[in-house]
Protein backbone atom coordinates (compact mmCIF):
# COMPACT_ATOMS: atom_id res chain seq x y z
CA UNK A 1 0.00 0.00 0.00
CA UNK A 2 1.53 3.29 -0.96
CA UNK A 3 -1.41 5.51 0.05
CA UNK A 4 -0.31 8.15 2.57
CA UNK A 5 -0.33 7.10 6.20
CA UNK A 6 -1.27 9.64 8.87
CA UNK A 7 -1.09 8.94 12.58
CA UNK A 8 -3.14 10.71 15.24
CA UNK A 9 -2.13 10.23 18.88
CA UNK A 10 -4.78 11.09 21.46
CA UNK A 11 -3.22 12.62 24.54
CA UNK A 12 -5.54 15.37 25.76
CA UNK A 13 -6.87 13.65 28.88
CA UNK A 14 -5.96 14.67 32.39
CA UNK A 15 -5.44 11.29 33.95
CA UNK A 16 -7.42 12.06 37.11
CA UNK A 17 -6.73 8.65 38.60
CA UNK A 18 -2.96 9.21 38.56
CA UNK A 19 -3.44 11.77 41.39
CA UNK A 20 -0.53 13.75 39.97
CA UNK A 21 0.29 17.33 39.01
CA UNK A 22 1.96 15.88 35.93
CA UNK A 23 -0.29 15.16 32.94
CA UNK A 24 -0.69 11.43 32.50
CA UNK A 25 1.22 11.04 29.23
CA UNK A 26 4.35 12.56 30.85
CA UNK A 27 4.68 9.74 33.34
CA UNK A 28 7.59 7.51 32.43
CA UNK A 29 8.18 3.89 31.52
CA UNK A 30 11.82 2.82 31.40
CA UNK A 31 12.88 6.43 31.97
CA UNK A 32 11.04 7.80 28.94
CA UNK A 33 7.65 9.53 28.93
CA UNK A 34 4.79 7.39 27.68
CA UNK A 35 4.02 9.91 24.95
CA UNK A 36 7.62 9.93 23.67
CA UNK A 37 7.51 6.15 23.44
CA UNK A 38 4.30 6.23 21.40
CA UNK A 39 5.61 8.99 19.12
CA UNK A 40 8.87 7.11 18.52
CA UNK A 41 6.96 3.95 17.63
CA UNK A 42 4.74 6.04 15.34
CA UNK A 43 7.81 7.59 13.67
CA UNK A 44 9.26 4.15 13.01
CA UNK A 45 6.31 3.45 10.69
CA UNK A 46 7.49 6.40 8.56
CA UNK A 47 4.10 8.09 8.24
CA UNK A 48 3.58 11.20 6.13
CA UNK A 49 2.07 12.98 9.09
CA UNK A 50 1.74 12.73 12.89
CA UNK A 51 -0.71 14.81 14.89
CA UNK A 52 -0.78 14.72 18.67
CA UNK A 53 -4.01 15.91 20.27
CA UNK A 54 -3.24 17.64 23.55
CA UNK A 55 -5.33 19.62 26.02
CA UNK A 56 -4.64 19.15 29.68
CA UNK A 57 -1.25 20.81 30.56
CA UNK A 58 -0.56 21.21 26.84
CA UNK A 59 2.46 23.48 27.35
CA UNK A 60 4.14 21.06 29.72
CA UNK A 61 3.50 18.23 27.27
CA UNK A 62 4.92 20.17 24.30
CA UNK A 63 7.96 21.39 26.25
CA UNK A 64 8.84 17.97 27.62
CA UNK A 65 8.22 15.96 24.47
CA UNK A 66 10.55 17.50 21.96
CA UNK A 67 9.49 15.73 18.80
CA UNK A 68 8.75 16.93 15.29
CA UNK A 69 4.98 16.40 15.24
CA UNK A 70 1.94 18.62 14.62
CA UNK A 71 0.39 19.56 17.96
CA UNK A 72 -3.38 19.96 17.93
CA UNK A 73 -5.21 21.50 20.82
CA UNK A 74 -8.50 20.06 22.02
CA UNK A 75 -9.74 22.74 24.40
CA UNK A 76 -12.53 20.65 25.87
CA UNK A 77 -12.25 16.88 26.28
CA UNK A 78 -15.58 15.84 24.80
CA UNK A 79 -14.56 12.28 23.98
CA UNK A 80 -12.25 10.24 21.75
CA UNK A 81 -14.39 10.88 18.64
CA UNK A 82 -14.25 14.61 19.28
CA UNK A 83 -10.49 14.38 19.78
CA UNK A 84 -9.98 12.81 16.36
CA UNK A 85 -12.30 15.39 14.82
CA UNK A 86 -10.05 18.12 16.23
CA UNK A 87 -7.17 16.71 14.19
CA UNK A 88 -9.26 16.26 11.03
CA UNK A 89 -8.28 19.59 9.36
CA UNK A 90 -4.65 18.43 9.35
CA UNK A 91 -5.34 15.11 7.63
CA UNK A 92 -5.16 14.59 3.87
CA UNK A 93 -8.34 13.59 2.02
CA UNK A 94 -6.89 10.26 0.93
CA UNK A 95 -4.87 7.46 2.47
CA UNK A 96 -5.35 6.09 5.96
CA UNK A 97 -5.23 7.29 9.53
CA UNK A 98 -3.92 5.19 12.41
CA UNK A 99 -5.22 6.24 15.84
CA UNK A 100 -2.90 5.69 18.83
CA UNK A 101 -3.09 6.71 22.49
CA UNK A 102 -0.56 8.57 24.60
CA UNK A 103 -1.35 6.32 27.53
CA UNK A 104 -0.83 3.02 25.69
CA UNK A 105 2.97 3.13 25.84
CA UNK A 106 4.17 -0.34 24.88
CA UNK A 107 2.48 -0.71 21.51
CA UNK A 108 5.08 -1.86 18.99
CA UNK A 109 5.64 -1.30 15.29
CA UNK A 110 5.19 -4.99 14.41
CA UNK A 111 1.65 -5.06 15.84
CA UNK A 112 0.74 -1.84 14.06
CA UNK A 113 2.14 -3.10 10.76
CA UNK A 114 0.04 -6.28 11.08
CA UNK A 115 -3.02 -4.10 11.71
CA UNK A 116 -2.27 -1.85 8.71
CA UNK A 117 -1.79 -4.91 6.49
CA UNK A 118 -5.09 -6.43 7.67
CA UNK A 119 -7.01 -3.18 7.21
CA UNK A 120 -6.17 -2.60 3.56
CA UNK A 121 -8.20 0.45 2.56
CA UNK A 122 -11.03 -0.45 4.94
CA UNK A 123 -11.14 -0.35 8.76
CA UNK A 124 -8.63 -2.16 10.98
CA UNK A 125 -9.35 -2.68 14.66
CA UNK A 126 -6.89 -3.94 17.27
CA UNK A 127 -8.68 -6.16 19.78
CA UNK A 128 -7.85 -8.22 22.82
CA UNK A 129 -9.51 -11.02 24.73
CA UNK A 130 -9.48 -10.47 28.47
CA UNK A 131 -10.48 -12.75 31.33
CA UNK A 132 -11.82 -9.64 33.03
CA UNK A 133 -13.06 -7.18 30.37
CA UNK A 134 -14.51 -4.70 32.91
CA UNK A 135 -14.15 -1.10 31.81
CA UNK A 136 -13.35 -1.80 28.17
CA UNK A 137 -15.48 -1.35 25.09
CA UNK A 138 -16.84 -4.73 23.94
CA UNK A 139 -16.63 -6.03 20.39
CA UNK A 140 -20.07 -6.91 19.06
CA UNK A 141 -20.06 -9.51 16.28
CA UNK A 142 -22.80 -10.73 13.95
CA UNK A 143 -22.17 -13.90 11.94
CA UNK A 144 -18.53 -13.52 12.92
CA UNK A 145 -18.24 -10.00 11.51
CA UNK A 146 -17.43 -7.04 13.78
CA UNK A 147 -20.46 -4.75 13.61
CA UNK A 148 -20.15 -2.41 16.60
CA UNK A 149 -18.36 -1.52 19.82
CA UNK A 150 -20.38 -1.00 22.99
CA UNK A 151 -18.82 0.90 25.87
CA UNK A 152 -18.99 -0.71 29.32
CA UNK A 153 -21.29 2.01 30.63
CA UNK A 154 -23.71 1.56 27.74
CA UNK A 155 -23.61 -2.25 27.64
CA UNK A 156 -26.45 -4.57 28.65
CA UNK A 157 -25.80 -7.75 30.63
CA UNK A 158 -25.30 -9.90 27.53
CA UNK A 159 -22.85 -7.40 26.04
CA UNK A 160 -20.96 -7.12 29.34
CA UNK A 161 -20.37 -10.87 29.17
CA UNK A 162 -18.35 -10.42 25.93
CA UNK A 163 -14.64 -10.89 26.65
CA UNK A 164 -13.42 -9.59 23.29
CA UNK A 165 -12.44 -5.99 23.91
CA UNK A 166 -11.50 -2.83 22.06
CA UNK A 167 -7.90 -1.73 22.59
CA UNK A 168 -8.82 1.65 21.09
CA UNK A 169 -6.17 1.39 18.36
CA UNK A 170 -7.65 1.45 14.87
CA UNK A 171 -7.00 2.33 11.22
CA UNK A 172 -9.51 4.36 9.24
CA UNK A 173 -9.80 5.25 5.54
CA UNK A 174 -9.52 9.04 5.23
CA UNK A 175 -12.10 9.18 2.43
CA UNK A 176 -14.81 8.36 5.02
CA UNK A 177 -13.39 10.29 7.97
CA UNK A 178 -15.13 13.64 7.74
CA UNK A 179 -18.48 12.02 6.88
CA UNK A 180 -18.35 9.57 9.75
CA UNK A 181 -17.04 12.02 12.33
CA UNK A 182 -19.84 14.46 11.40
CA UNK A 183 -22.39 11.77 12.26
CA UNK A 184 -21.14 11.15 15.81
CA UNK A 185 -23.37 12.27 18.64
CA UNK A 186 -23.11 12.22 22.40
CA UNK A 187 -26.35 10.38 23.14
CA UNK A 188 -24.75 7.83 25.44
CA UNK A 189 -24.15 7.08 29.09
CA UNK A 190 -21.09 9.36 29.30
CA UNK A 191 -22.40 12.21 27.12
CA UNK A 192 -19.22 11.93 25.01
CA UNK A 193 -18.47 11.68 21.31
CA UNK A 194 -17.26 8.09 21.06
CA UNK A 195 -14.67 7.21 18.45
CA UNK A 196 -15.89 3.63 18.85
CA UNK A 197 -19.23 4.55 17.21
CA UNK A 198 -17.36 4.72 13.88
CA UNK A 199 -17.38 0.91 13.80
CA UNK A 200 -21.18 0.77 13.55
CA UNK A 201 -21.13 3.58 10.96
CA UNK A 202 -18.57 1.70 8.83
CA UNK A 203 -20.66 -1.44 9.09
CA UNK A 204 -23.83 0.44 8.04
CA UNK A 205 -22.03 1.69 4.93
CA UNK A 206 -20.71 -1.72 4.01
CA UNK A 207 -17.07 -0.88 4.82
CA UNK A 208 -15.59 -4.02 6.38
CA UNK A 209 -13.95 -3.94 9.80
CA UNK A 210 -10.88 -6.18 10.03
CA UNK A 211 -10.10 -7.18 13.61
CA UNK A 212 -6.57 -8.11 14.62
CA UNK A 213 -6.05 -9.64 18.04
CA UNK A 214 -3.00 -8.26 19.82
CA UNK A 215 -0.29 -10.91 20.44
CA UNK A 216 0.06 -10.03 24.13
CA UNK A 217 -2.20 -7.86 26.28
CA UNK A 218 0.56 -5.62 27.59
CA UNK A 219 1.20 -4.30 24.06
CA UNK A 220 -2.17 -2.57 24.05
CA UNK A 221 -2.58 -2.01 27.79
CA UNK A 222 -3.46 1.50 28.86
CA UNK A 223 -2.27 3.35 31.94
CA UNK A 224 -4.98 4.97 34.03
CA UNK A 225 -3.42 4.71 37.49
CA UNK A 226 -0.12 4.11 39.25
CA UNK A 227 -0.78 0.39 39.61
CA UNK A 228 -1.04 0.01 35.86
CA UNK A 229 2.02 2.22 35.37
CA UNK A 230 4.03 0.01 37.75
CA UNK A 231 2.75 -3.17 36.11
CA UNK A 232 3.81 -2.01 32.63
CA UNK A 233 7.16 -0.79 33.96
CA UNK A 234 7.87 -4.28 35.29
CA UNK A 235 6.87 -5.95 32.03
CA UNK A 236 9.05 -3.49 30.14
CA UNK A 237 12.02 -4.16 32.46
CA UNK A 238 11.52 -7.91 32.30
CA UNK A 239 11.53 -7.83 28.49
CA UNK A 240 14.69 -5.71 28.43
CA UNK A 241 16.41 -7.99 30.92
CA UNK A 242 15.51 -11.06 28.86
CA UNK A 243 16.89 -9.44 25.70
CA UNK A 244 20.15 -8.61 27.53
CA UNK A 245 20.46 -12.14 28.94
CA UNK A 246 19.91 -13.48 25.46
CA UNK A 247 22.75 -11.26 24.23
CA UNK A 248 25.08 -12.77 26.84
CA UNK A 249 24.95 -10.27 29.70
CA UNK A 250 24.98 -11.92 33.14
CA UNK A 251 22.24 -10.55 35.37
CA UNK A 252 22.27 -12.10 38.83
CA UNK A 253 18.51 -11.55 39.00
CA UNK A 254 16.61 -10.15 36.00
CA UNK A 255 13.74 -9.24 38.34
CA UNK A 256 16.01 -6.88 40.24
CA UNK A 257 17.52 -4.96 37.35
CA UNK A 258 16.35 -1.64 35.91
CA UNK A 259 17.58 -0.07 32.71
CA UNK A 260 16.16 3.37 31.99
CA UNK A 261 18.02 4.08 28.80
CA UNK A 262 20.55 2.19 26.73
CA UNK A 263 23.29 -0.27 27.59
CA UNK A 264 26.04 -1.52 25.30
CA UNK A 265 28.08 -4.33 26.77
CA UNK A 266 31.00 -6.54 25.85
CA UNK A 267 31.52 -10.19 26.73
CA UNK A 268 31.38 -11.62 30.24
CA UNK A 269 29.87 -8.55 31.83
CA UNK A 270 28.20 -9.26 35.18
CA UNK A 271 25.61 -7.17 36.97
CA UNK A 272 24.58 -8.01 40.51
CA UNK A 273 21.15 -7.30 42.02
CA UNK A 274 19.40 -3.94 42.43
CA UNK A 275 21.45 -2.05 39.91
CA UNK A 276 19.77 0.93 38.21
CA UNK A 277 21.23 2.06 34.89
CA UNK A 278 20.09 5.32 33.30
CA UNK A 279 20.92 7.26 30.13
CA UNK A 280 23.46 5.89 27.65
CA UNK A 281 26.09 3.51 28.94
CA UNK A 282 28.89 1.29 27.69
CA UNK A 283 30.47 -1.55 29.65
CA UNK A 284 33.61 -3.17 28.23
CA UNK A 285 34.47 -6.88 28.32
CA UNK A 286 34.59 -8.43 31.78
CA UNK A 287 33.17 -5.40 33.64
CA UNK A 288 31.53 -6.33 36.94
CA UNK A 289 28.93 -4.14 38.65
CA UNK A 290 28.26 -4.91 42.31
CA UNK A 291 24.90 -4.84 44.02
CA UNK A 292 22.96 -1.61 44.56
CA UNK A 293 24.85 0.65 42.18
CA UNK A 294 23.25 3.55 40.31
CA UNK A 295 24.96 4.24 36.99
CA UNK A 296 24.05 7.02 34.60
CA UNK A 297 25.76 7.89 31.31
CA UNK A 298 28.96 6.01 32.10
CA UNK A 299 31.61 4.49 29.87
CA UNK A 300 33.48 1.76 31.74
CA UNK A 301 36.55 0.09 30.27
CA UNK A 302 37.23 -3.64 30.07
CA UNK A 303 38.01 -5.48 33.29
CA UNK A 304 36.94 -2.67 35.62
CA UNK A 305 35.00 -3.51 38.75
CA UNK A 306 32.40 -1.30 40.38
CA UNK A 307 31.93 -2.48 43.95
CA UNK A 308 28.51 -2.32 45.68
CA UNK A 309 26.65 0.90 46.54
CA UNK A 310 28.53 3.13 44.14
CA UNK A 311 26.92 6.07 42.34
CA UNK A 312 28.29 7.06 38.92
CA UNK A 313 27.08 9.85 36.68
CA UNK A 314 28.41 11.25 33.38
CA UNK A 315 31.83 9.73 33.87
CA UNK A 316 34.44 7.64 32.11
CA UNK A 317 36.47 4.84 33.63
CA UNK A 318 39.42 3.18 31.94
CA UNK A 319 40.42 -0.51 31.95
CA UNK A 320 40.97 -2.65 35.05
CA UNK A 321 40.03 0.13 37.45
CA UNK A 322 38.41 -0.51 40.82
CA UNK A 323 35.65 1.76 42.07
CA UNK A 324 33.90 1.61 45.45
CA UNK A 325 32.31 0.24 47.47
CA UNK A 326 30.44 3.47 48.30
CA UNK A 327 32.20 5.62 45.71
CA UNK A 328 30.63 8.63 44.04
CA UNK A 329 31.74 9.66 40.57
CA UNK A 330 30.15 12.92 39.50
CA UNK A 331 30.06 14.53 36.05
CA UNK A 332 33.36 14.69 34.18
CA UNK A 333 35.14 12.28 36.46
CA UNK A 334 37.70 10.63 34.20
CA UNK A 335 39.33 7.66 35.90
CA UNK A 336 42.43 6.15 34.28
CA UNK A 337 43.35 2.52 33.68
CA UNK A 338 44.07 0.51 36.84
CA UNK A 339 43.16 3.42 39.11
CA UNK A 340 41.40 2.81 42.44
CA UNK A 341 38.65 4.98 43.88
CA UNK A 342 37.64 3.63 47.27
CA UNK A 343 34.93 4.03 49.85
CA UNK A 344 33.43 7.44 50.55
CA UNK A 345 35.51 9.04 47.84
CA UNK A 346 33.85 11.67 45.65
CA UNK A 347 35.37 12.71 42.33
CA UNK A 348 34.02 15.57 40.22
CA UNK A 349 35.36 17.15 37.02
CA UNK A 350 38.76 15.57 37.56
CA UNK A 351 41.22 13.36 35.75
CA UNK A 352 42.82 10.54 37.70
CA UNK A 353 45.88 9.10 35.96
CA UNK A 354 46.90 5.51 35.27
CA UNK A 355 47.21 3.47 38.46
CA UNK A 356 46.62 6.35 40.87
CA UNK A 357 44.68 5.65 44.05
CA UNK A 358 42.33 7.50 46.37
CA UNK A 359 41.10 4.77 48.64
CA UNK A 360 39.33 6.39 51.56
CA UNK A 361 37.15 9.37 52.55
CA UNK A 362 38.32 11.92 50.02
CA UNK A 363 36.97 14.74 47.86
CA UNK A 364 38.65 15.36 44.52
CA UNK A 365 37.06 18.22 42.57
CA UNK A 366 38.42 20.21 39.61
CA UNK A 367 41.72 18.35 39.82
CA UNK A 368 44.21 16.67 37.59
CA UNK A 369 46.18 13.79 39.06
CA UNK A 370 49.03 12.14 37.19
CA UNK A 371 50.12 8.49 37.06
CA UNK A 372 50.91 6.27 40.03
CA UNK A 373 50.04 8.85 42.69
CA UNK A 374 48.48 8.05 46.03
CA UNK A 375 45.97 10.30 47.75
CA UNK A 376 45.86 9.66 51.50
CA UNK A 377 42.67 9.15 53.47
CA UNK A 378 40.66 12.25 54.27
CA UNK A 379 42.24 14.47 51.63
CA UNK A 380 40.19 17.36 50.26
CA UNK A 381 40.78 19.56 47.24
CA UNK A 382 39.44 22.87 48.53
CA UNK A 383 38.32 23.98 45.07
CA UNK A 384 35.78 26.65 45.94
CA UNK A 385 36.58 30.04 47.45
CA UNK A 386 32.92 30.92 47.75
CA UNK A 387 32.82 32.59 44.34
CA UNK A 388 35.03 30.71 41.91
CA UNK A 389 36.20 27.14 41.41
CA UNK A 390 39.97 26.58 41.13
CA UNK A 391 42.07 23.68 39.92
CA UNK A 392 44.43 21.41 41.76
CA UNK A 393 47.19 19.84 39.69
CA UNK A 394 49.03 16.84 41.08
CA UNK A 395 51.90 15.19 39.17
CA UNK A 396 53.07 11.59 38.80
CA UNK A 397 54.03 9.31 41.71
CA UNK A 398 53.01 11.87 44.28
CA UNK A 399 52.21 10.86 47.89
CA UNK A 400 49.58 13.08 49.43
CA UNK A 401 49.55 12.44 53.20
CA UNK A 402 46.34 11.67 55.00
CA UNK A 403 44.14 14.59 55.87
CA UNK A 404 45.76 17.03 53.45
CA UNK A 405 43.81 20.15 52.52
CA UNK A 406 44.85 21.27 49.04
CA UNK A 407 43.70 24.89 48.79
CA UNK A 408 43.31 25.55 45.06
CA UNK A 409 44.67 26.91 42.83
CA UNK A 410 47.66 24.83 43.78
CA UNK A 411 50.00 22.31 42.23
CA UNK A 412 52.10 19.43 43.54
CA UNK A 413 55.14 18.41 41.49
CA UNK A 414 56.11 14.88 40.38
CA UNK A 415 57.25 12.53 43.19
CA UNK A 416 56.48 15.15 45.83
CA UNK A 417 55.20 14.11 49.26
CA UNK A 418 52.95 16.12 51.59
CA UNK A 419 52.91 15.52 55.32
CA UNK A 420 49.72 14.21 56.88
CA UNK A 421 47.41 16.95 58.12
CA UNK A 422 48.99 19.65 55.97
CA UNK A 423 47.01 22.59 54.69
CA UNK A 424 48.72 23.23 51.37
CA UNK A 425 48.21 26.78 50.13
CA UNK A 426 51.26 27.15 47.89
CA UNK A 427 52.74 24.95 45.18
CA UNK A 428 54.74 21.93 46.37
CA UNK A 429 58.00 21.33 44.51
CA UNK A 430 58.82 18.00 42.86
CA UNK A 431 60.79 15.33 44.76
CA UNK A 432 60.46 17.16 48.13
CA UNK A 433 58.51 16.66 51.33
CA UNK A 434 56.26 19.60 52.11
CA UNK A 435 54.72 19.89 55.56
CA UNK A 436 52.32 22.67 56.46
CA UNK A 437 51.09 22.19 59.99
CA UNK A 438 52.02 23.47 63.40
CA UNK A 439 54.74 21.49 65.11
CA UNK A 440 53.75 19.18 67.93
CA UNK A 441 55.07 20.35 71.30
CA UNK A 442 55.10 18.77 74.73
CA UNK A 443 54.54 21.11 77.69
CA UNK A 444 56.89 20.01 80.44
CA UNK A 445 55.76 20.50 84.05
CA UNK A 446 52.13 20.87 83.08
CA UNK A 447 49.69 19.62 85.72
CA UNK A 448 46.23 18.43 84.91
CA UNK A 449 43.67 20.40 86.97
CA UNK A 450 41.76 18.27 89.45
CA UNK A 451 38.55 18.85 91.39
CA UNK A 452 39.27 19.56 95.11
CA UNK A 453 38.60 16.41 97.24
CA UNK A 454 35.80 16.72 99.79
C1 LIG B 1 -11.53 3.91 25.25
C2 LIG B 1 -12.52 3.27 24.29
C3 LIG B 1 -12.82 1.86 24.77
C4 LIG B 1 -11.54 1.07 24.89
C5 LIG B 1 -10.55 1.78 25.78
C6 LIG B 1 -9.24 1.05 25.72
C7 LIG B 1 -13.89 5.11 23.48
C8 LIG B 1 -15.19 5.78 23.56
N9 LIG B 1 -13.71 4.06 24.26
O10 LIG B 1 -12.19 4.05 26.50
O11 LIG B 1 -13.69 1.21 23.84
O12 LIG B 1 -11.84 -0.25 25.40
O13 LIG B 1 -10.34 3.13 25.33
O14 LIG B 1 -8.36 1.60 26.68
O15 LIG B 1 -13.06 5.50 22.69
N16 LIG B 1 -8.81 11.53 24.96
C17 LIG B 1 -8.63 12.75 24.36
N18 LIG B 1 -9.67 13.60 24.32
C19 LIG B 1 -10.90 13.30 24.80
C20 LIG B 1 -11.06 12.04 25.41
C21 LIG B 1 -10.00 11.17 25.46
O22 LIG B 1 -7.54 13.07 23.89
O23 LIG B 1 -11.79 14.12 24.70
C24 LIG B 1 -7.67 10.61 25.02
C25 LIG B 1 -7.27 10.33 26.45
O26 LIG B 1 -6.25 11.23 26.86
C27 LIG B 1 -6.76 8.90 26.35
C28 LIG B 1 -7.54 8.29 25.22
O29 LIG B 1 -8.06 9.37 24.48
O30 LIG B 1 -5.39 8.87 26.00
C31 LIG B 1 -8.65 7.36 25.67
O32 LIG B 1 -9.61 8.07 26.42
P33 LIG B 1 -10.31 7.44 27.68
O34 LIG B 1 -11.24 8.42 28.22
O35 LIG B 1 -9.28 6.89 28.61
O36 LIG B 1 -11.13 6.24 27.01
P37 LIG B 1 -11.63 4.95 27.74
O38 LIG B 1 -12.81 5.28 28.58
O39 LIG B 1 -10.51 4.27 28.38
CA1 LIG C 1 -8.36 4.83 29.04
| pLDDT tens per residue, range 56-114 | 999 999 999 999 999 999 999 999 999 999 999 999 999 999 999 999 999 999 999 99
Cβ of residue 403 lying under 6 Å from some atom of ligand 1: no
Task: Tell me the HSE value of 381 on the side-chain side, using a 13 A CA sphere.
Answer: 27
Tell me how far the alpha carbon of residue 103 lies from the centroid of ligand 1, in angstroms: 9
Task: Specify the ligand 1 atom closest to the Cα of 56.
Answer: 26
Q: What is the mean pLDDT of residues 405-413?
A: 98
Q: Quote the CA–CA distance of 281 and 299 in Å, as a whole number.
A: 6
Cβ of residue 53 lying under 6 Å from some atom of ligand 1: yes
* Annotated catalytic residue 360: yes
Q: Cis bond leading into 244, ω under 30°?
A: no
| pLDDT tens per residue, range 113-140 | 999 999 999 999 999 999 999 999 999 9
- Nearest to 151, CA basis, from 169, 139, 163: 139
How wide is the angle at C-alpha 264 spanned by C-alphas 260 and 268, nearest 5°?
Answer: 115
Cβ of residue 103 lying under 6 Å from some atom of ligand 1: yes
Cβ of residue 381 lying under 6 Å from some atom of ligand 1: no
Q: Quote the CA–CA distance of 153 and 178 in Å, as a whole number.
A: 26
pLDDT band at 308; cut points 50, 70, 90: very high
- Nearest to 54, CA basis, from 83, 18, 85: 83
Task: Specify the ligand 1 atom closest to the Cα of 137.
Answer: 11
DSSP annotation string for 250-304: EES-GGGEEEEEEEEE-TT-EE-SSEEEEEEEEE-TT-EE-TT-EEEEEEE-TT-
Closest residue by Cα to atom 36, ligand 1, is 80
Buried b (16+ CB within 10 A) or exposed e, 101-134: bbbbbbbbeebbebbbebbeebbbbbbbeeeebe
Pick the ligand that lies closest to the CA of residue 34.
1
Tell me how far the alpha carbon of residue 323 lies from the centroid of ligand 1, in angstroms: 49
Closest residue by Cα to atom 21, ligand 1, is 80
Q: Quote the CA–CA distance of 55 and 38 in Å, as a whole number.
A: 17
Give me the sign of the Cα torsion angle 203, 207, 212, 217.
negative
Q: For the chain, what is the mean pLDDT?
A: 97
- Which residues, including other chains, have CB under 8 Å from residue 361's CB and lie 6 or more apart? 343, 344, 345, 377, 378
What is the pLDDT at residue 13? 87
Cβ of residue 105 lying under 6 Å from some atom of ligand 1: no
Mutate to test the pocket of ligand 1, among 13, 192, 214 (most ligand atoms within 8 A of CB): 13
What is the pLDDT at residue 2? 60
Q: Quote the CA–CA distance of 38 and 30 in Å, as a whole number.
A: 13
Q: Look up the pTM and report it.
A: 0.93
| pLDDT tens per residue, range 145-201 | 999 999 999 999 999 999 999 999 999 999 999 999 999 999 999 999 999 999 999
Strand stretches in 303-369, DSSP E? 305-306, 311-317, 322-323, 328-329, 333-335, 340-348, 350-352, 357-365, 367-369
Amino acid sequence: MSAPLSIVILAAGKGTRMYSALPKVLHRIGGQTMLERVIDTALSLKPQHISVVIGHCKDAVRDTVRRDVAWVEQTEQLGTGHALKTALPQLPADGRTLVLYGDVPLIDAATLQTLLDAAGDEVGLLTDVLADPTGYGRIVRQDGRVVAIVEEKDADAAQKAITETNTGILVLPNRHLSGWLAQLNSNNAQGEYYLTDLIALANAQGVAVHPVQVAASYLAAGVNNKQQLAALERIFQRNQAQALLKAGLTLRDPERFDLRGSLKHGQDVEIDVNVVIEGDNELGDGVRIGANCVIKNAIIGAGSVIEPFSHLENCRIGRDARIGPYARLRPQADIGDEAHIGNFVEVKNSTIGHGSKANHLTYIGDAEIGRGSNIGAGTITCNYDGVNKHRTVIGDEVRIGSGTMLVAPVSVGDRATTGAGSTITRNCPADKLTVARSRQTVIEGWVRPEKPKK
